[in-house]
Structure 1
Amino acid sequence: MAGVLILIGLVLQILGFIGLTPLPHGVGYALWLATLLLWRDIPRRTRWQAGALAAIGLGLLVLARWRYAAEIAWPTVTSGNTYVVAMLVGVSFIGLIGNRSGSKRPLGHPVTGRRGTLGTWLGVHLLGTILNLSTVFMIGDRLTRRGPLTTPQLLALNRGLSSAALWSPFFASMGVVMTLAPNMEYSRILAVGLPLALLSGTLTTLELSRRFDLSEVAGFSLSPRSLLMPVVMAALVMLFHFQLTPELSIVSIITFLLPAAALASNLPAGPRWTLHRVRQHTLSRLPAMRGEIALFLSAGLLTLGLSTLVAAATGSEWTLFAHFGPAQAVLSFLAIVASAVVGLHPIIGVSVLASTLNLSGNEQTLFAFTALASWAVGTSVGPLSGINLSLQGRYGVSGYRMMRHNLGYATAMVVLVIAVMLLNETLSLFA
């Protein structure tokens, strides 16, 4: 029942892209009902975290209504982060793309050492700028052909994707930031974010080669054969984004494109086989995403509660800082990264920060960089970030284990980001 409800949520989200909404807010209702049905099966720690986030969010909404008489559209409170959850559900269908017979093609000699690790980081980073989280599964699943993923491989996947938030115009973080700071100058973000991302790749390669013996660790080969499916999917995303459905965001395109590609790849074997695989996926893989779904939905409810209470309590006139300059950017950046370490997704900190600021035109670019850097560093180290939750759900690695291994990397990235922010005062990087 829960798997079917999750599938219904995905279908309703896709129907919404073409203007069909048979059940208003039905995506949230279906996903939340599935989460409640699976609640007892969610790992205890995740269940407590999601429950606390949801309870606090609801409590803040009740407080805003009771204390400040805020107008709250209660039927819509289940809709927070549903677009992200729908994308994750859509991405899960990538497991249905590939060899139908189940036999594995012979693998060539693996690329190992620093070169292999750099190949993994670079492959995830470049393709992830367009395909977002789906790239991690494409490359990660390919690496698992040689055995369970090792810690260096998982860290390269994590950092390759999270660092793309620093500059990619197609990344989920950029979509959020463009909404919160519509007058930011992307060219300035690119000029600073891309070099920082390249430093992240260099740092990852050097650090992992120092901490681990990479001589037998297989990496992702940037060969035409390895890149075929990711590049084809990236080309399709770009085709839909620029030509066929320019009104849809990258996240929305991925949400419907990957399930469609999965169906198309199975249809040559016949409708019965395709239906069998979709049914199997619905009854096994989708319920297995219960932890990720619960946390994203609960985080969305918390964000809604916080922003509603802040707006009601301040009359939308109070601001955290009278002026948003380098010092304020550093404080905000550190606070959001710290909140990510204790388990809050950076989108919460970024959204709350935006709701407490009144940004002028020149300040919006600095705010945008602060938000993107917070997202890049916070998602790499945060145990409950989308990338770490997905690695946990797909490959069984604990988000807290990933956090411990990423603390040194995150510290180095924090120093680099703060240096850029402070240089802004003298070089006017974001003026």
Structure 2
Amino acid sequence: MHESSPRQRIAGGLILLALALQIAGFSGALGTTLAVSYALWLAVALLWRDIPARSRRQAAVLIALGLIMLLTARLGYGARIYWPGIITRNAFVVVMLVGVSFIALIGTQGNRKAPGKRVTGTGGVLRSWAGVHFLGTILNLSAVFMVGDRLSRREPLSTPQLLALNRGLSSAALWSPFFASMGVMIALVPNMQYAYVALAGFPLAMCAGLFTTLELDRRFDLDEVDGFSLAPKSLLMPLCMAVLVMLFHFWLTPGLSIVSIITFLLPSVALAANLPRGLRYTGYRIYQHSMTRLPAMRGEISLFLAAGLFTLGLSTLVDAATQDTWTLFDRFGLPQAMASFIVIVLSAMIGLHPIIGVSTLASVLSLEGNAQTLYAFVGLTAWGVGTAVGPLSGINLSLQGRYGISGYRMMKHNLGYAGAMSLLVLVAIAGLALLLGQA
């Protein structure tokens, strides 16, 4: 394992501190928002040179534009800006991602042995997709590496295997309450109704798995392609975590959002799972995780924080220039929802992370009532399709770094998938809009 530098270890400690401060703030006794944000931004500054060049350039542009728009709003239009708080946007989403990463400390996630068995052919592709999808609903990107590393033991991953990994994870964004996409949408539209989103998003995710299986069977000879079969017992942990989150949300801590519950629950479960082996062992695993895994999250942390500053600048400038009277659409209904989805996916194809399109549109829309739920669904579906096809998305950059497949090659192979899924999404948007009375 690559030995981390003192700078990286300090950054890991700051990220862990941000998580601890955020959890402490849930009690209501302490106001920790600023401290959490400063700790995360300082960690990004320490890790800046380690961020992949493309992600670093994108984050730098977002930060610069955000600051320029804030200065323009202040100097050009006299807007009142609380400067110490301009870096707080999206911080709690980042802390949720940090909390979710601790799920890797539960059970044997880090061991060589992985659940399931190998199969080949069409069934193998479907099982690979399902394994990444259902493990990924909780484990996020680490599920891709868990399955991918298992499949690559015999030989380098083939294109069908890589596409199954890509689509299995990205489609989890359509409905999983544990995904960063859901955290972002809850931050942008806090009154969204998750039940409606899941009702439409889960069937879409299953269609993504079915389409992937049929399309890859048509395009490739799968007879010698190894697949990953997910053992039923491997679903127990994600299912238990989902039940726990719902238990806290509806009964134990109804005053906390799902994002907040996930932030403290997953690290707590990880801690409880390791404590039976002793305090020393538990402390060592947390230390190793904080010094290696947390600094490795530098790319996504920097992008989420930079996007938060950018959207704050944009919304502040728009409000100041229009005196809070201008919105992109007078009403967010079916046509506007469809147009928004298409624009976000197209922006992902030219290299922008979906969080940028989702956040930018939200900052220039007036979303009330059921329009929030409709927009949440638009954002989640655009995220699910956009990250699959976008050459610079987190999943494709990760596959490129780990398994050597070009992000642009993945985009080329996913164009048909993105087109088919987009048609299904537009139909689903129409159905949800009718159900919500927003057609």
TM-score by length of 2: 0.82
Distance between the aligned counterparts of 1:240 and 1:183, measured in 2? 18
**1:230 and 2:235 equivalent?**
no
CA 1:413–1:241: 2 relative to 1, 3 Å:
same
**Aligned residues of 1:310 and 1:356 also touching (Cα < 8 A):** yes
1:137 to 126, 142, 146: 142
**1:198 and 2:206 equivalent?**
yes
Q: CA deviation at 1:147?
A: 3.1
Distance between the aligned counterparts of 1:54 and 1:234, measured in 2? 35
Q: CA deviation at 1:26?
A: 1.0
Spell out the pairing of 1:379-418 with structure 2 (5 A cutoff): 379-385=387-393, 387-388=395-396, 400=408, 402-418=410-426
**1:112 and 2:120 equivalent?**
yes
**Aligned residues of 1:292 and 1:389 also touching (Cα < 8 A):** no
**Aligned residues of 1:166 and 1:196 also touching (Cα < 8 A):** yes
Q: Identify the range of structure 1 (278-287 vs 180-189) with the bigger mean alpha-carbon deviation.
A: 180-189
CA 1:98–1:127: 2 relative to 1, 3 Å:
closer
Note the alpha carbon deviations across 1:16-68, whole angstroms, 9 max, x for none.
22225365411111111111111122222222111111111111111111111
Report what 1:257 is aligned to: 265
Q: CA deviation at 1:385?
A: 4.3
Report what 2:59 is aligned to: 50
Unaligned runs of 5+ in 1: none
CA 1:387–1:322: 2 relative to 1, 3 Å:
same
Distance between the aligned counterparts of 1:106 and 1:319, measured in 2? 50
Q: Identify the range of structure 1 (292-301 vs 83-92) with the bigger mean alpha-carbon deviation.
A: 83-92
Alignment RMSD (CA, Å): 3.5
TM-score by length of 1: 0.84
1:352 to 360, 377, 399: 360
**1:86 and 2:132 equivalent?**
no
Report what 1:372 is aligned to: 380
Partner amino acid, structure 2, of 1:121: W
Note the alpha carbon deviations across 1:110-130, whole angstroms, 9 max, x for none.
13322232233334545656x
Distance between the aligned counterparts of 2:48 and 2:181, measured in 1? 29
**Aligned residues of 1:50 and 1:294 also touching (Cα < 8 A):** yes
CA 1:113–1:241: 2 relative to 1, 3 Å:
farther
Report what 1:38 is aligned to: 47
**1:276 and 2:256 equivalent?**
no
Distance between the aligned counterparts of 1:421 and 1:24, measured in 2? 35
Distance between the aligned counterparts of 2:84 and 2:232, measured in 1? 49
Report what 2:313 is aligned to: 305
Partner amino acid, structure 2, of 1:144: D
Unaligned runs of 5+ in 2: 1-9
Q: CA deviation at 1:184?
A: 6.7
Distance between the aligned counterparts of 1:393 and 1:83, measured in 2? 27
Partner amino acid, structure 1, of 2:16: L
CA 1:403–1:302: 2 relative to 1, 3 Å:
farther
CA 1:358–1:115: 2 relative to 1, 3 Å:
same
CA 1:368–1:290: 2 relative to 1, 3 Å:
closer
Q: CA deviation at 1:155?
A: 3.2
SS at 2:118 equivalent: coil
**Aligned residues of 2:116 and 2:231 also touching (Cα < 8 A):** no
Report what 1:160 is aligned to: 168
Partner amino acid, structure 2, of 1:147: S
**Aligned residues of 1:118 and 1:201 also touching (Cα < 8 A):** yes
CA 1:22–1:191: 2 relative to 1, 3 Å:
closer
**1:11 and 2:20 equivalent?**
yes
**Aligned residues of 1:6 and 1:30 also touching (Cα < 8 A):** yes
CA 1:394–1:2: 2 relative to 1, 3 Å:
farther
Q: Identify the range of structure 1 (74-83 vs 319-328) with the bigger mean alpha-carbon deviation.
A: 319-328
Report what 2:3 is aligned to: none
Q: CA deviation at 1:346?
A: 2.7
**1:328 and 2:336 equivalent?**
yes
**Aligned residues of 1:188 and 1:429 also touching (Cα < 8 A):** no
Q: CA deviation at 1:194?
A: 4.2
CA 1:87–1:404: 2 relative to 1, 3 Å:
farther
SS at 2:102 equivalent: helix
**Aligned residues of 2:90 and 2:184 also touching (Cα < 8 A):** no
Q: CA deviation at 1:358?
A: 3.6
% identical aligned pairs: 62
Q: Identify the range of structure 1 (367-376 vs 287-296) with the bigger mean alpha-carbon deviation.
A: 367-376
